[in-house]
Amino acid sequence: MTKEVMALLREVLTKLETVLDQQSTILRLLQLREDQGQILDIEEGSLPLQNLPQLLSLEQKMLQSPKTVLERN
């Protein structure tokens, strides 16, 4: 493999790890809210997320408020 291919693969793996970490955080937050009897109202059309900034935004909104309502990005 060339150096360019190796660099590209490394970048893809790094981004995948970031997405998986964010997904785990969001799932933990959803489980915590469910255990506490809190409802997460997700606006129709908000999911699936289209990119990493939307994923990071979702995580931030969930961390900020226990009554998060997702808005279209």
Tokens representing 13? 């793996």
Domain count, the chain: 1
C-alpha distances (whole Å) from 63 to each of 9, 67, 69 are 31, 10, 12
Range of the domain at 36: 3-70
CA 64 to chain centre: 14
User: 42 φ, ψ to 5°?
Assistant: -105, 120
**pLDDT (tens digit per residue) in 10-51:** 999 998 898 888 888 878 877 887 777 776 666 666 667 778
Contact 26, 62 (CB under 8 A): yes
pTM listed for this prediction: 0.54
